[in-house]
Protein backbone atom coordinates (compact mmCIF):
# COMPACT_ATOMS: atom_id res chain seq x y z
CA UNK A 1 0.00 0.00 0.00
CA UNK A 2 1.33 3.44 -0.93
CA UNK A 3 0.89 4.95 2.52
CA UNK A 4 3.01 8.03 3.10
CA UNK A 5 5.48 8.17 5.98
CA UNK A 6 3.72 11.19 7.44
CA UNK A 7 0.46 9.19 7.63
CA UNK A 8 2.17 6.24 9.29
CA UNK A 9 3.84 8.51 11.82
CA UNK A 10 0.60 10.22 12.77
CA UNK A 11 -1.22 6.90 13.12
CA UNK A 12 1.51 5.35 15.26
CA UNK A 13 1.71 8.40 17.51
CA UNK A 14 -2.05 8.16 17.99
CA UNK A 15 -2.01 4.42 18.69
CA UNK A 16 0.78 4.49 21.25
CA UNK A 17 -1.10 6.45 23.98
CA UNK A 18 -4.17 4.31 23.29
CA UNK A 19 -2.26 1.14 24.14
CA UNK A 20 -0.68 2.79 27.20
CA UNK A 21 -4.20 3.65 28.38
CA UNK A 22 -5.30 0.07 27.73
CA UNK A 23 -2.36 -1.31 29.73
CA UNK A 24 -3.25 0.86 32.73
CA UNK A 25 -6.76 -0.59 32.65
CA UNK A 26 -5.56 -4.17 32.16
CA UNK A 27 -7.10 -4.36 28.71
CA UNK A 28 -3.76 -5.03 27.04
CA UNK A 29 -0.45 -6.54 28.16
CA UNK A 30 1.95 -4.55 26.01
CA UNK A 31 2.28 -1.60 23.68
CA UNK A 32 3.15 -3.05 20.24
CA UNK A 33 3.95 0.41 18.88
CA UNK A 34 7.13 0.46 20.99
CA UNK A 35 8.53 -2.32 18.80
CA UNK A 36 7.90 -0.36 15.59
CA UNK A 37 10.31 2.10 14.06
CA UNK A 38 8.33 5.31 13.61
CA UNK A 39 9.20 7.12 10.37
CA UNK A 40 11.22 10.30 10.74
CA UNK A 41 9.50 13.65 10.41
CA UNK A 42 12.40 14.97 8.31
CA UNK A 43 11.06 16.54 5.16
CA UNK A 44 7.47 15.95 6.20
CA UNK A 45 6.35 19.57 5.87
CA UNK A 46 3.93 19.55 2.96
CA UNK A 47 2.61 23.09 3.27
CA UNK A 48 3.15 25.23 0.21
CA UNK A 49 3.30 29.00 -0.02
CA UNK A 50 2.21 30.26 -3.41
CA UNK A 51 4.47 32.50 -5.45
CA UNK A 52 2.97 35.55 -7.14
CA UNK A 53 3.22 33.74 -10.49
CA UNK A 54 1.40 30.64 -9.18
CA UNK A 55 -1.29 32.81 -7.64
CA UNK A 56 -1.86 34.76 -10.86
CA UNK A 57 -2.04 31.79 -13.21
CA UNK A 58 -4.39 29.88 -10.90
CA UNK A 59 -6.91 32.67 -10.41
CA UNK A 60 -6.67 33.87 -14.01
CA UNK A 61 -7.63 30.38 -15.16
CA UNK A 62 -10.54 30.29 -12.67
CA UNK A 63 -11.93 33.44 -14.29
CA UNK A 64 -11.20 32.26 -17.81
CA UNK A 65 -13.24 29.09 -17.26
CA UNK A 66 -15.91 30.89 -15.24
CA UNK A 67 -15.18 29.00 -12.00
CA UNK A 68 -16.39 32.02 -10.05
CA UNK A 69 -17.19 30.19 -6.80
CA UNK A 70 -13.70 28.70 -6.66
CA UNK A 71 -12.15 32.04 -7.57
CA UNK A 72 -14.03 34.00 -4.91
CA UNK A 73 -13.52 31.37 -2.21
CA UNK A 74 -9.78 31.24 -2.91
CA UNK A 75 -9.37 34.99 -3.07
CA UNK A 76 -11.10 35.40 0.30
CA UNK A 77 -8.82 32.75 1.80
CA UNK A 78 -5.66 34.43 0.59
CA UNK A 79 -6.97 37.87 1.59
CA UNK A 80 -8.47 37.06 4.99
CA UNK A 81 -6.72 33.85 6.10
CA UNK A 82 -9.98 32.00 6.74
CA UNK A 83 -10.38 28.24 6.69
CA UNK A 84 -12.26 27.07 3.57
CA UNK A 85 -15.12 25.61 5.62
CA UNK A 86 -15.52 28.91 7.49
CA UNK A 87 -16.17 30.70 4.21
CA UNK A 88 -18.36 27.98 2.72
CA UNK A 89 -20.55 28.12 5.85
CA UNK A 90 -20.61 31.92 5.96
CA UNK A 91 -24.11 33.39 6.04
CA UNK A 92 -24.91 36.68 4.36
CA UNK A 93 -26.05 38.04 7.72
CA UNK A 94 -22.48 37.55 8.98
CA UNK A 95 -21.15 40.12 6.50
CA UNK A 96 -21.38 43.81 7.42
CA UNK A 97 -20.36 45.80 4.35
CA UNK A 98 -20.96 49.12 6.07
CA UNK A 99 -18.49 48.25 8.82
CA UNK A 100 -16.34 46.33 6.29
CA UNK A 101 -16.30 43.27 8.51
CA UNK A 102 -17.16 39.58 8.46
CA UNK A 103 -17.90 37.44 11.49
CA UNK A 104 -17.04 33.75 11.88
CA UNK A 105 -19.67 32.49 14.31
CA UNK A 106 -18.88 28.77 14.24
CA UNK A 107 -15.63 27.02 15.01
CA UNK A 108 -13.95 24.14 16.79
CA UNK A 109 -12.77 26.46 19.58
CA UNK A 110 -13.70 29.86 21.04
CA UNK A 111 -10.67 31.35 19.26
CA UNK A 112 -12.10 30.28 15.90
CA UNK A 113 -15.13 32.49 16.45
CA UNK A 114 -13.92 35.93 15.50
CA UNK A 115 -14.56 39.10 13.51
CA UNK A 116 -12.23 40.17 10.70
CA UNK A 117 -11.84 43.53 9.01
CA UNK A 118 -12.21 43.16 5.26
CA UNK A 119 -9.51 44.04 2.77
CA UNK A 120 -10.61 46.15 -0.18
CA UNK A 121 -10.65 43.14 -2.51
CA UNK A 122 -12.60 41.02 -0.01
CA UNK A 123 -15.21 43.75 0.38
CA UNK A 124 -15.62 43.98 -3.40
CA UNK A 125 -16.09 40.20 -3.71
CA UNK A 126 -18.60 40.01 -0.87
CA UNK A 127 -20.55 43.04 -2.08
CA UNK A 128 -21.00 41.34 -5.44
CA UNK A 129 -22.05 38.03 -3.86
CA UNK A 130 -24.56 39.71 -1.55
CA UNK A 131 -26.39 41.19 -4.54
CA UNK A 132 -28.07 37.78 -4.90
CA UNK A 133 -30.24 37.36 -1.83
CA UNK A 134 -29.64 34.01 -0.16
CA UNK A 135 -29.00 32.56 3.28
CA UNK A 136 -25.44 31.69 2.27
CA UNK A 137 -22.64 33.75 0.82
CA UNK A 138 -21.69 30.61 -1.12
CA UNK A 139 -24.95 28.77 -1.85
CA UNK A 140 -24.81 25.35 -3.48
CA UNK A 141 -25.84 25.41 -7.15
CA UNK A 142 -27.06 21.82 -6.79
CA UNK A 143 -28.46 21.34 -3.29
CA UNK A 144 -31.25 23.82 -2.66
CA UNK A 145 -30.94 25.53 0.71
CA UNK A 146 -27.41 24.21 1.36
CA UNK A 147 -24.07 25.90 1.22
CA UNK A 148 -21.33 25.17 -1.32
CA UNK A 149 -19.34 21.92 -1.21
CA UNK A 150 -15.55 21.66 -1.16
CA UNK A 151 -15.01 22.13 -4.95
CA UNK A 152 -12.08 19.72 -4.84
CA UNK A 153 -12.84 18.38 -8.31
CA UNK A 154 -12.93 21.83 -9.85
CA UNK A 155 -9.75 22.79 -8.01
CA UNK A 156 -7.95 19.73 -9.41
CA UNK A 157 -9.01 20.60 -12.95
CA UNK A 158 -7.70 24.14 -12.58
CA UNK A 159 -4.39 22.83 -11.24
CA UNK A 160 -4.02 20.51 -14.22
CA UNK A 161 -4.59 23.23 -16.79
CA UNK A 162 -2.72 25.96 -14.91
CA UNK A 163 0.30 23.67 -14.38
CA UNK A 164 0.58 24.40 -10.65
CA UNK A 165 0.29 22.14 -7.61
CA UNK A 166 -1.09 22.95 -4.16
CA UNK A 167 -4.02 22.11 -1.90
CA UNK A 168 -6.73 24.71 -1.14
CA UNK A 169 -5.52 25.05 2.46
CA UNK A 170 -2.22 26.39 1.12
CA UNK A 171 -4.03 29.64 0.34
CA UNK A 172 -4.39 30.08 4.10
CA UNK A 173 -0.73 29.18 4.61
CA UNK A 174 0.18 31.78 2.01
CA UNK A 175 -1.83 34.46 3.80
CA UNK A 176 -0.15 33.62 7.12
CA UNK A 177 3.36 33.69 5.69
CA UNK A 178 2.83 36.96 3.86
CA UNK A 179 1.29 38.57 6.93
CA UNK A 180 4.24 37.51 9.09
CA UNK A 181 6.76 38.73 6.52
CA UNK A 182 5.01 42.10 6.35
CA UNK A 183 5.39 42.54 10.10
CA UNK A 184 2.11 41.35 11.62
CA UNK A 185 2.86 40.31 15.23
CA UNK A 186 2.56 36.56 15.73
CA UNK A 187 0.02 36.99 18.55
CA UNK A 188 -2.16 39.11 16.26
CA UNK A 189 -1.75 36.62 13.42
CA UNK A 190 -2.85 33.78 15.71
CA UNK A 191 -6.04 35.69 16.53
CA UNK A 192 -6.71 36.49 12.86
CA UNK A 193 -6.28 32.82 11.92
CA UNK A 194 -8.50 31.71 14.79
CA UNK A 195 -5.86 29.88 16.83
CA UNK A 196 -5.86 29.77 20.61
CA UNK A 197 -2.07 29.64 21.01
CA UNK A 198 1.11 30.75 19.28
CA UNK A 199 2.41 27.21 18.82
CA UNK A 200 -0.47 26.41 16.49
CA UNK A 201 0.12 29.41 14.27
CA UNK A 202 3.85 28.80 13.83
CA UNK A 203 3.27 25.81 11.56
CA UNK A 204 1.57 28.10 9.05
CA UNK A 205 4.41 30.60 8.91
CA UNK A 206 7.23 29.91 6.46
CA UNK A 207 9.73 32.75 6.35
CA UNK A 208 11.76 32.77 3.16
CA UNK A 209 15.55 32.99 3.03
CA UNK A 210 15.22 36.30 1.19
CA UNK A 211 13.12 37.72 4.01
CA UNK A 212 15.58 36.55 6.67
CA UNK A 213 18.47 38.10 4.72
CA UNK A 214 16.59 41.37 4.31
CA UNK A 215 15.76 41.57 8.01
CA UNK A 216 19.36 40.87 9.00
CA UNK A 217 20.55 43.69 6.73
CA UNK A 218 17.91 46.00 8.21
CA UNK A 219 19.02 45.07 11.72
CA UNK A 220 22.66 45.71 10.84
CA UNK A 221 21.89 49.19 9.49
CA UNK A 222 19.52 50.24 12.29
CA UNK A 223 21.13 52.44 14.96
CA UNK A 224 21.03 50.73 18.35
CA UNK A 225 22.37 53.59 20.47
CA UNK A 226 21.85 57.30 20.43
CA UNK A 227 25.47 58.34 20.75
CA UNK A 228 29.06 57.10 20.94
CA UNK A 229 29.85 55.16 24.06
CA UNK A 230 32.49 56.83 26.23
CA UNK A 231 35.72 54.86 26.52
CA UNK A 232 36.62 53.77 30.06
CA UNK A 233 39.99 55.53 29.75
CA UNK A 234 38.49 58.85 28.69
CA UNK A 235 38.12 61.55 31.32
Mean pLDDT, to the nearest integer, of 2-16? Answer: 77
Position 235 scores a pLDDT of 44
215-235: pLDDT as tens digits = 788 887 766 555 554 545 544
Mean pLDDT, to the nearest integer, of 190-200? Answer: 88
Kindly list the distances between the CA atom of residue 138 and the CA atoms of 89, 128, 198, in Å, as whole numbers in the listed order.
7, 12, 31
For the entire predicted model, the pTM comes to: 0.74
- Rounded to 5°, angle at Cα 120 from 165 and 125: 65
Share of the chain above pLDDT 70, in %: 88
45-69: pLDDT as tens digits = 567 899 999 999 999 999 999 999 9
Position 193 scores a pLDDT of 94
Supply the angle between the helices 152-162 and 68-80 in degrees, to the nearest 10. 90
Amino acid sequence: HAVRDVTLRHDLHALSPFFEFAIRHNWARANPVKKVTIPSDAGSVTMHVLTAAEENVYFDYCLEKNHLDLHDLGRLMIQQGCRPEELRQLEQADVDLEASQLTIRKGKSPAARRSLKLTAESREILARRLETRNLWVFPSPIRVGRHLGNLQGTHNKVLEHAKVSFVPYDLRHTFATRAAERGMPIATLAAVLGHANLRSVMKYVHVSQEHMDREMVRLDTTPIRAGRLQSPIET
